[in-house]
Structure 1
Amino acid sequence: MTPRYAQRMDKVQPSAIGELLALGADPSIISFGGGYPDATLFPAEQLDAVFHEIIREAGGAAMQYAPSNGLPHLRDQIAGLMTADGMACTGDDVLILQGSQQGLDFAARMLIDPGDVIVTEDPTFLGALIAFEPSQPDYAVVPVDTDGMQTEALREILEANPRARMIYTIPDFQNPTGVTLSLARRKELIALANRHDLIVLEDTPYRQIRFEGRHLPTLKSLDTEGRVIHLGSFSKVLVPGLRIGWAVAAPELLARMGLLKVAADTQTSTLNMAAASLFLDRYDLAAHIATLREAYARKKEVMLDAIRQYFPQDITATDPDGGLFTWLTFDEGFDATAFMREVALPQARVAYVPGATFFPLTPRANHARLNFSAQSLDNIRTGISALGKALHANPSL
């Protein structure tokens, strides 16, 4: 058989780092690679009680089909969480997704024709690029600094790209850099989107995991023209295995995304939606998130302290106010992918994500993303120490 694949599959390729990260799954390797929360902090007992109750519910409602846009009570609950975060909405404004990753896919399929331009941060979330590629976009990229996407550069990029259709951003504790978009730049981004009539795709999986600094309004709360699609998720603040995410958007946009939802999978798991909903009814999500914030803040500090102690002085690491990641910058000419393959994995027994793959247009090899949330404090110290020794011994890769 010789399948004739659609042209859209040309850009749907395995990640160049997939093989390296598969090696990083070896239990003898300390992996700072995945964007994983700490599994020891999952509310396992509460979820066990929740699932037992809903499975035994009279009539088996939790095991039956459900509305494609999600269980009404869960949508109301999420609307309440969003309203408390400054985005006044009702359950009718919420679409339940199979993780917020599904929202990235739907937004691109809804808005992007081949050759249309998606504007992203540079670097940006690798998973978003994977979701966008089947829609065959072109990219325009905006550099980031400690205050997030540089909106002065964004203004020039939008003027130079009349086929721009969407701005994609992670404004809070961005993946991979950990930086946060300042309030002034949030306002400027919305003003530019209004001026150029663009949709803004706001991705906020880490928003609630703030350790320090001022709580900033979402882009959706600053949106006066209904052009922001806000994506949220329980993956980082409850458990990723539930695969519960959501979109909040203007009615016309949400209706179109709902049609794509029906085509993609009919609905998100009724059982998992019911479990998330009952958890929110019975337990204190805010208290659980407070526990995560305290634990992850400590892990970040331990990792950054170890980097300062063990790494060569010319390597810099971002110091995020929240989230799960720090972003390393090495000297120009250093190849983080080659170093991981040839030194970090086989010798130091440490894995990370090489940074080149996060750049949509021009890969830059002298970066890497480290996750600090998944490993224990002891593993963080041990892994960073081993990585530092390897870097001192192999400075030229």
Structure 2
Amino acid sequence: MKYNFSDRISALQPSAIREILKMSSDPQVISFAAGNPAPEAFPTQAIADISKQVLEQNPIGALQYSLTEGYPALRESMKDFAFNHYGIGKSFDELVIVSGAQQGIELTCKVLCNEKDTIICEDPSFIGSLNSFRSYNTNLVGVEMEDDGINVEALEEAIKHNPNTKFIYVIPNFQNPTGKTMSYFKRKRVYELAKQHHIMILEDNPYGDLRFEGDDLPSIKSMDTEGLVIYVGSFSKVLSPGMRVGYLIAHQDLVSKIVVAKQCADVHSNILAQIICEKFVTNYDIEGHLTRLKEVYKHKCELMLSEMDKHFSECVAYTRPQGGLFIWCTLPEHVDMVAFCKKAVSEYKVAVVPGSAFLVTEGTKTQSFRINFSTPTDEQIVKGIELLGKLTKELC
């Protein structure tokens, strides 16, 4: 049987990260390729206790169909959390629970974009979002990243040259894959440009609660007076990615359409997982939990950076993030980055992600690769960075 796939899907390729993770299943391979929370970061006992309580006291409510908009108590808790932590929540805003931030991103594209409409993205950017956008046959335009976030001059030019732009997609805090954070000036400027040209902003913030150095910066959504910003948050990095619980905050008129689109996609997000998240936020020390997460990731990041300082060739440049899960490394021009990544996993048994996986325009050349410090153990970080350092000195 020959299958004829839809135009939307036929050109999509498997995630390079997922393909590398297959090789990482080799027990001899030390993986810096994932983006998973640290195993020690999961509040497993609290989740077990809450699950037991819910299934004993309200089993039908946790197992029955529920509202597409989300578990009401969780929606109210997350409205309070977003307002208290990020200054988000104008009178025109509404919140919907989604099946992970990924669904919020995909539904935004589904609701706003027709084929060939333009989405402007940071370049590089999160592969999951890029593939969602590609699946709707949109025109992706990448804007280069600088040390303090997106190049706003290039962004303005991209907007002028693409009058059919529907929204700008940004990850302001500890961006995936670069680990960079957008400055306050650039957050204001991105919003000003969107307002000036009457286009939307999709602000993705999965890592904002994981700042372990420096001062918090205002969210772009907190600056929103026009209903231009769609904000997506998630429990994946602070509680459990397997629960698939996230939330989207936007103008109520937009949320009403997203709710209709979500009804077509999955009716509603996992209600048991929603109840567990709500109980954890309201009945447990969420602030203490976040503080513990920051301590875990600060330690892991500092350990990895110190080992890189010790073992990496001086010809390799890398970011020094103040939060999140990732470090972005750049090789000199004469080194073949893809060959470097392949040799790292096949000969040195260390898996990293080639930077080409995150580029807006597929096939564009890059010298960078991404490594993750949250998933490996301390011992794996020390050993893996020493091995990767030998390879950098061999090739540089």
Please indicate, yes or no, whether the TM-score normalized by the shorter chain is above 0.5: yes
Aligned to 2:21: 21
Aligned to 1:319: 320
Aligned to 1:267: 268
Aligned to 2:32: 32
Residue 281 of structure 1 pairs with residue 272 of structure 2: no
For residues 377 and 17 of structure 1, what CA distance do their matches in structure 2 show?
22
The secondary structure found in structure 2 opposite 1:386 is: helix
Q: Which moved more, 1:138-147 or 1:248-257?
A: 138-147
**1:17 Cα offset (Å):** 4.9
Residue 57 of structure 1 pairs with residue 65 of structure 2: no
**1:221 Cα offset (Å):** 0.4
Aligned to 2:248: 247
For residues 92 and 279 of structure 2, what CA distance do their matches in structure 1 show?
16
For residues 17 and 42 of structure 1, what CA distance do their matches in structure 2 show?
23
**1:23 Cα offset (Å):** 0.3
**1:345 Cα offset (Å):** 1.3
- Which amino acid is the alignment partner of residue 359 of structure 2? F
Query: Residue by residue, what CA displacement relative to the aligned partner does 1:289-343 show, whole Å, maximum 9, x if unpaired?
Result: 11111111111111111111111101011011110001001011423322222x2
**1:48 Cα offset (Å):** 0.3
Q: Is contact 1:79–1:90 with CA below 8 Å preserved after alignment?
A: no
Distance 1:240 1:345, change over 3 A: same
**1:65 Cα offset (Å):** 1.1
For residues 70 and 92 of structure 1, what CA distance do their matches in structure 2 show?
15
The secondary structure found in structure 2 opposite 1:56 is: helix
The secondary structure found in structure 2 opposite 1:173 is: coil
**1:347 Cα offset (Å):** 2.0
Q: Is contact 2:96–2:259 with CA below 8 Å preserved after alignment?
A: yes
Aligned to 1:123: 124
Query: Residue by residue, what CA displacement relative to the aligned partner does 1:98-138 show, whole Å, maximum 9, x if unpaired?
Result: 00000111011111111111100111111111111111011
Residue 381 of structure 1 pairs with residue 368 of structure 2: no
**1:144 Cα offset (Å):** 1.0
Query: Residue by residue, what CA displacement relative to the aligned partner does 1:31-84 show, whole Å, maximum 9, x if unpaired?
Result: 011111101221000000000011112462111111011000000000010110
Structure 2 alignment gaps of length 5 or more: none
For residues 11 and 20 of structure 1, what CA distance do their matches in structure 2 show?
20
The secondary structure found in structure 2 opposite 1:93 is: strand
Q: Which moved more, 1:67-76 or 1:108-117?
A: 108-117
The secondary structure found in structure 1 opposite 2:8 is: helix
Aligned to 2:189: 188
For residues 139 and 184 of structure 1, what CA distance do their matches in structure 2 show?
25
Using the size of structure 1 for normalisation, the TM-score is: 0.96
Q: Is contact 1:21–1:353 with CA below 8 Å preserved after alignment?
A: no
Q: Which moved more, 1:13-22 or 1:42-51?
A: 13-22
Query: Residue by residue, what CA displacement relative to the aligned partner does 1:155-184 show, whole Å, maximum 9, x if unpaired?
Result: 111111112111000001110111111111
For residues 387 and 54 of structure 2, what CA distance do their matches in structure 1 show?
47
Distance 1:378 1:156, change over 3 A: same
Aligned to 2:72: 72
Q: Which runs of 4+ in 1 moved over 4 A?
A: 89-92
Distance 1:270 1:16, change over 3 A: closer
Distance 1:59 1:139, change over 3 A: closer
Distance 1:333 1:260, change over 3 A: farther
Distance 1:230 1:58, change over 3 A: closer
User: Percent of counterpart pairs with the same letter?
Assistant: 37
Distance 1:92 1:69, change over 3 A: farther
- Which amino acid is the alignment partner of residue 137 of structure 2? Q
Q: How does 1:78-97 map to 2 (within 5 A)?
A: 78-84=78-84, 85-88=86-89, 93-97=94-98
**1:25 Cα offset (Å):** 2.3
Q: Is contact 1:55–1:62 with CA below 8 Å preserved after alignment?
A: yes
Q: Which moved more, 1:86-95 or 1:142-151?
A: 86-95
For residues 59 and 294 of structure 1, what CA distance do their matches in structure 2 show?
36
Aligned to 2:168: 167
Q: How does 1:102-251 map to 2 (within 5 A)?
A: 102-251=103-252
For residues 280 and 35 of structure 2, what CA distance do their matches in structure 1 show?
23
**1:349 Cα offset (Å):** 1.0
The secondary structure found in structure 1 opposite 2:166 is: strand
For residues 213 and 145 of structure 1, what CA distance do their matches in structure 2 show?
19
Q: Is contact 2:177–2:370 with CA below 8 Å preserved after alignment?
A: yes
Residue 47 of structure 1 pairs with residue 27 of structure 2: no
**1:280 Cα offset (Å):** 1.5
Q: Which moved more, 1:39-48 or 1:362-371?
A: 362-371
**1:18 Cα offset (Å):** 3.7
For residues 208 and 91 of structure 2, what CA distance do their matches in structure 1 show?
20
**1:394 Cα offset (Å):** 3.4
For residues 384 and 129 of structure 1, what CA distance do their matches in structure 2 show?
29
Structure 1 alignment gaps of length 5 or more: none
**1:27 Cα offset (Å):** 2.3
**1:390 Cα offset (Å):** 2.0
Using the size of structure 2 for normalisation, the TM-score is: 0.96
For residues 283 and 58 of structure 1, what CA distance do their matches in structure 2 show?
19
For residues 214 and 356 of structure 1, what CA distance do their matches in structure 2 show?
31
Q: Is contact 1:326–1:369 with CA below 8 Å preserved after alignment?
A: yes
Q: Is contact 1:116–1:165 with CA below 8 Å preserved after alignment?
A: yes
Distance 1:356 1:325, change over 3 A: same
Q: Is contact 2:16–2:353 with CA below 8 Å preserved after alignment?
A: no
**1:91 Cα offset (Å):** 12
Aligned residues: 394
Distance 1:114 1:3, change over 3 A: same
- Which amino acid is the alignment partner of residue 372 of structure 1? F
**Aligned residues: CA RMSD:** 1.5
Distance 1:242 1:18, change over 3 A: closer
**1:89 Cα offset (Å):** 5.3
Q: Is contact 1:348–1:387 with CA below 8 Å preserved after alignment?
A: yes
Residue 3 of structure 1 pairs with residue 16 of structure 2: no
The secondary structure found in structure 1 opposite 2:135 is: helix
**1:146 Cα offset (Å):** 1.2
